[in-house]
Each structure stands twice: as structure tokens, then as C-alpha cells.
């Protein structure tokens, strides 16, 4: 639990409060991770999980990572990714009510929470800017780069189906193949069936930052 940025420096009383009041559930491999209370912050205690959207793996979640934060303190139903366990995975679901209780007990948690949300807004704004233009190569490079970074690896293997990737980016398959082939020709990525291996994350970043989106 202390692997998470919110609770890394929390008092022992805060940690015990979470353990006693949170809904802790263990999921088996490939089982969807969902809470009975949709307005809950999910904290992975052990194991790993995959965040997917439209069949694409967006991120690998590990012990200490959180998800479900978009649904908290909102009157709208948040559009969240689907989360699936990779092997046995234990998750603590912290309800909105419990989180408020923790905030009142330790105001530093509020500061960390606001900072996290501010970083998310900046990140999403950057993604929108990068992917809103008409440059296919830049849009493809930006998507691959941020998907790779979200997996906390400089040379990850991304499970990406070209048809799904085309739909997610709003790019025709012929144009997408040309962009992927160009990146592969420059040895920035390698493609194998439905896998894309990132060979040079830094050059991939340059591709969308130097191109006009």
C-alpha cells in the first residue's frame, strides 16, 4: 500500500483504517476487476492488471497503482477503461466516503490528490493536442509513445491490432500502415503479427514532437 504516492508517507493509523474499512478482493487471472460500489478508488495491493479500451491494452497496472479515480466526486458516470487481472491480483476498493474520511484525518492526502489530478489534466490536454491534427505519422508516433510510457518501460512490447489501432486513431488502415512501415524502416519500432516492439523510445518521441500534428 505504501508503494502508492498517496499513502507512501501516511501515518500507520491511516493505513490500518484503509485495511479495516476498504473492500479487499482477490481476482483470478483474466477476471474483470470491478467494484460493487462504482464510486471507489481501486488500489492494487499485489499482482498485475491490464487496462483495456476497445480491445487495446492501454496500460499495465502493478502493485501500488490506482484506477477508478475519474468516477470519484463526479455527478456524471465516468467512461472508464476495462481492467482485467493478470494472474492472481488483490485489490483494495476505497469508497468515496472512506477517502473523504482519510482526507479529513490527513490533509496532506488532499494536496497529493489534487496534484495527481492536475497532472492528469495536463497529460490529457497534451494527448488531445498531439492527436488532433492531420499528420498520420505524428498521431501514430504519439499514440505508441504514450502507450509505451504508460507501461513503465523504455522498450515495451505493445499488443496492438492494426484494425483496432486504426479505429482508435481515426486513421485509414492504408495511411496507418504507411506510418508504421516508416517507423519500422527507421528501426524505431518492429512489428510482429499483432505486436509492436518499441526499439527507440526517444526517437519515437521526436517523431511527434518534431512533426506538425
Pairing assessment for the beta strands 23-27 and 40-53 based on DSSP bridges? unpaired
Whether residue 176 contacts residue 139, with contact meaning beta carbons closer than 8 Å, is answered with: no
When the pLDDT of each residue in the chain is averaged and rounded to a whole number, the result is: 85
List beta partners, residue 51: 59, 83
Indicate if the pLDDT at residue 134 is higher than 80: no
Q: CA–CA separation, 199 vs 202, rounded Å? A: 9
pTM, 2 dp: 0.66
Q: CA–CA separation, 191 vs 83, rounded Å? A: 25
- Interval 33-55: pLDDT, tens: 998 888 899 999 999 998 887 66
- Grid coordinates of 184: 519500422
Q: CA–CA separation, 52 vs 62, rounded Å? A: 14
- Interval 26-38: pLDDT, tens: 999 999 999 888 8
Domains of the chain (ranges, CATH numbers): 12-120 (2.60.120.10), 132-209 (1.10.10.10)
Helix (H) / strand (E) element for 85: namely strand 82-95
Amino acid at each position: 500500500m505504501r508503494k502508492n504516492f498517496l499513502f507512501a508517507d501516511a501515518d500507520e493509523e491511516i493505513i490500518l483504517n484503509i485495511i479495516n474499512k476498504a473492500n479487499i478482493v482477490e481476482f483470478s487471472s483474466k477476471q474483470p476487476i470491478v467494484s460493487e460500489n462504482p464510486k471507489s478508488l481501486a488500489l492494487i495491493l499485489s499482482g498485475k492488471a491490464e487496462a483495456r479500451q476497445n480491445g487495446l491494452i492501454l496500460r499495465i497496472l502493478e502493485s501500488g497503482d490506482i484506477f477508478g479515480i475519474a468516477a470519484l466526486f463526479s455527478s456524471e458516470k465516468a467512461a472508464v477503461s476495462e481492467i482485467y487481472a493478470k494472474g492472481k491480483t488483490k485489490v483494495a476498493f476505497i469508497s468515496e466516503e472512506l477517502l473523504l474520511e482519510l482526507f479529513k484525518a490527513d490533509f496532506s492526502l488532499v494536496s497529493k490528490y489534487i496534484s495527481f489530478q492536475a497532472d492528469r489534466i495536463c497529460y490529457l490536454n497534451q494527448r488531445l493536442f498531439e492527436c488532433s491534427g492531420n499528420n498520420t505519422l505524428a498521431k501514430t508516433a504519439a499514440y505508441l509513445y504514450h502507450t509505451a510510457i504508460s507501461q513503465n518501460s523504455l522498450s515495451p512490447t505493445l499488443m496492438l491490432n492494426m484494425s483496432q489501432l486504426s479505429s482508435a486513431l481515426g486513421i485509414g488502415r492504408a495511411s496507418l500502415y504507411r506510418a508504421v512501415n516508416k517507423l519500422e524502416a527507421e528501426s524505431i519500432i518492429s512489428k510482429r503479427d499483432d505486436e509492436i516492439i518499441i526499439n527507440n523510445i526517444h526517437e519515437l518521441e521526436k517523431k511527434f514532437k518534431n512533426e506538425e500534428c
